[in-house]
Structure 1
Amino acid sequence: MPVVNSFNAFLGAAVLGVISAAGLYIAEHYRQEKHRHAMAKDLARLDQELTQVKRELEQLLSKKNEKTVKSKRSRTVNKANSVVSNSTVDDYLSASNVDSSDLEFYDVSDDEVEAVSSNLISTLNEIDKKLDSDIIFELEKCLETLKDLCLEYPENPEILWRIGKVHHKISEKSDEKDFIQEQISKGIEACDAALKLKTDSADIHKWYAILIGSRSDFVPLQEKISDGHLFKKHVDEAIAITPWDPSLHYLLGRFKYEIAGLKWYERKVAAALYAEPPNATYADALLHFVEAEKLANFEWKENKLMIAKCKIAEGDYWEAVSWLEKASSCKQGDCLDDKVDSEVNALLEKYNGYR
């Protein structure tokens, strides 16, 4: 089960994290970026569907005296599925010497709707597999595909939160601050738009929280503190929906671990800004890391490291070393990097006397 690589990098700052106003509606944002491309696609599709309309008009007119098509839904559209506007249809009928009153409209069938839904689900499933890739080229291809889907299926939260996720994944592949900040900002816009459309999706809340945490590297202390409240709010929302997701317990554990380690002056700032500043102990954090360990179906070195760090903070060095040794024996996984290995090895050397 892949887990986000940059938790160590951003969650410390996420404790103090902010919500920026997600300004632009994401579908419009991408529609502007790809205006020419979308227009070319629409023109080609229009030509094909006009031909289809002509054939089906002939069939409808020939059957007009035999049957009446009953409406099954309140939303009726012509076979061109709303791609061809009413004025275009009128022009077409006029050119064909057919009176517009002879045109019978009929519903999109359940089978057609299900086919569209099935195709989208299949495409999104393929994208999900590729999103776990660490290859930047594959991630960029996923982003382009999602942008195209966003044009074809506007106001679809399942597309939007994945756009947020891929922007975050792409940001991890760069060391350039401006580029990372731009990717995080675009990801937040996408997830913010998704939240406006759907509020009961664990994935939307999860990736919105992750992106907010990532952004905390680029904002001042006051906003970081505000961001921490927002981060926790959305992780809590996600856990309430999918309590069996180990990555969510890990996120909350990291949040509480960082809160427990706040310096006295950081606590004073938080207390000055909030009537109820965030509060947590290492024991609170440990509970979530242990839960994540139980739920994970893979060897999770980073989570074992965090259990060890909680034990160290509590002065239980023998148990901490035991967890560090478990972490050291883990095979390298998708969620791990050299930074985690370095920290495990450094702590084992420091507490070598407790082996």
Structure 2
Amino acid sequence: MSRYKSSWRFLINLYKLTLKKKFSSPPKVVLFAFSLLWLDPFGIYEKLTSSLDNEKSPKGNMYWQKMTPDQLVDEADKLYSRGEYLQVYEILNRMRYNGNPEVQWRICRVLFKMSGDEKFSSNMREEMISEAYILINMALSLDDSNANIHKWMAIIIDAKTGYDGVIEKIKSYETIRFHMERAIELNPNDMVVLYMLGKWNYEMSRLTRFQRWIAKVFYHHDPPMSHYRDAYEFLMRSAELQTNEYYIPTFYILGKTCIKLGHFYRARYYLQYAAFLPPRTDYEEKCARKSKSLVIQLDKYDLASESIFYDFPNFTDQM
């Protein structure tokens, strides 16, 4: 009996040392010894770590404990809007396996955002996308009628195939289009998905016969066909929804689409708009810079003002 008492004294002393921060985490010997005494080592570990956390930030833990899952999701959305992506991940990751697809697609969203941060290594960014791909498939299996899940499925597949190689990239085109079209079917006023569809159609239209021949002969897959008119339709719908907020790449790609269609006055209008909007990210700044360059190049074309009133065949009927 005295042996057990001495063991308990030893454990208590180690516990006190831990709380005094002489160890960064509870010593493994504590967990092992407690397990020998028929106690739950993981439960003890959680208690010890929670004690340390409480000592460091007592208000923070009380704050999380008082919030419901729905309140945590709302808080995560607020943090996301402020660009505090790591905090969002830490909050939502607590609930990743609770069977809530709203939580899972939000984790995918923040993982995608963090994967674009170059302060992380290339391997870590790839792991983020791989984790997001697993989670978004879990979310889709739980809810097939959620527009956000289909939107982020398209985004994550596109990001993942960027790491997987050219063959997987070509094979993914149809799947990406399916999820974007499903997302816009469920939420017709999502300006982001409309932009994505517009850009997808623009990129498919840009593929030359030679590039398509290469894809068919060497990769055994035919890229989908599209037309610049389809790109124009989706991009215009996205631009019309951007009243209280804006996304510079929408107007940049819209201007380039108008150039491809031969409507240079329209192109100049949208490119000038993109060039003079204040950029908020590096990508927006890049698009704004390229827009200015294209505006200068358009000076050599006949920019008849009446061309802005031209309507494409069947475009008005489809609105």
Q: Report the TM-score when normalising by structure 2.
A: 0.69
Match of 1:320 in 2: 267
Out of 200, 204, 209, which is 2:149 matched to? 204
What is the letter of the counterpart of residue 113 of structure 2? K
- Per the alignment, residue 150 of structure 1 pairs with 96
User: Quick one: structure 1 residues 304 and 155, their matched pair in 2 at CA, closer, same or farther if it must change by over 3 Å?
Assistant: same
**Alignment partner of 2:68: what SS?**
helix
The 3 A distance-change label for structure 1 pair 179 and 351 is farther
User: In the alignment, does 2:108 pair up with 1:164?
Assistant: yes
Contact 1:299/1:331 (8 A) holds in 2: no
- Residue 70 of structure 2, aligned match among 101, 112, 121: 121
| Partner SS, residue 228 of structure 1 | helix
The Cα of 1:322 is off from its aligned counterpart by: 1.5
- Which residue in the other structure is 1:341 paired with? 288
Change in 2 beyond 3 A, CA 1:150/1:141:
same
Gaps of 5+ in 1: 1-34, 45-115
Say if 2:46 is the partner of 1:40. Answer: yes
Overall identity of the aligned pairs, in %: 25
Q: Which of residues 253, 271, 274 is equivalent to 1:306?
A: 253
Match of 2:186 among 241, 245, 255: 241
Partner of 1:13: none
Between 301-310 and 332-341, report the one with greater CA deviation: 332-341
Alignment partner, residue 103 of structure 1: none
Structure-to-structure mapping, 1:172-321, within 5 angstroms = 172-174=116-118, 176-271=121-216, 273-274=220-221, 277-297=223-243, 298-321=245-268
Cα shift at 1:323: 1.3
Structure 1: how far apart are the matches of 2:47 and 2:211? 54
Give the alignment's Cα RMSD to 1 decimal. 2.8
**Alignment-derived partner of residue 299 in structure 2:** 352
CA distance in 2, matches of 1:159, 1:212: 19
Cα distance in 1, alignment partners of residues 101 and 44 from structure 2: 20
Answer yes or no: is the 8 Å Cα contact 2:109–2:152 preserved in 1. Answer: yes
User: What's the secondary structure of 2:224's corresponding residue?
Assistant: coil
Work out which structure has the larger RCO, using CA pairs closer than 8 Å and 6 or more positions apart in sequence: 1
Does the CA-based 8 Å contact 1:164-1:189 persist in structure 2?
Answer: no
What residue is the counterpart of 1:80 in the other structure? Answer: none
Question: Are residues 146 and 131 of structure 1, via their aligned partners in 2, closer, same or farther at CA, if it must alter by over 3 Å?
Answer: same
Task: State the distance in 1 between where 2:213 and 2:154 align.
Answer: 24
Q: Partner of 1:132 in structure 2? A: 81
* Secondary structure of 2:159 counterpart: helix
Do the aligned residues in 1 keep the contact of 2:150 with 2:179 (CA within 8 Å)?
yes
- 8 Å CA contact 1:167–1:187 kept in 2: the answer is yes
Q: Which residue of 2 aligns with 1:52?
A: none
Whole-angstrom CA distance in 2 between matches of 1:38 and 1:191: 33
Change (3 A) 1:236 1:291: same
Count of aligned positions: 243
Post-superposition offset of 1:172:
1.4
Higher deviation after alignment, 260-269 or 238-247: 260-269
Given that 1:187 and 1:211 are in contact with CA atoms closer than 8 Å, whether structure 2 keeps it comes out as yes
Deviation at 1:36, TM superposition (A): 5.2
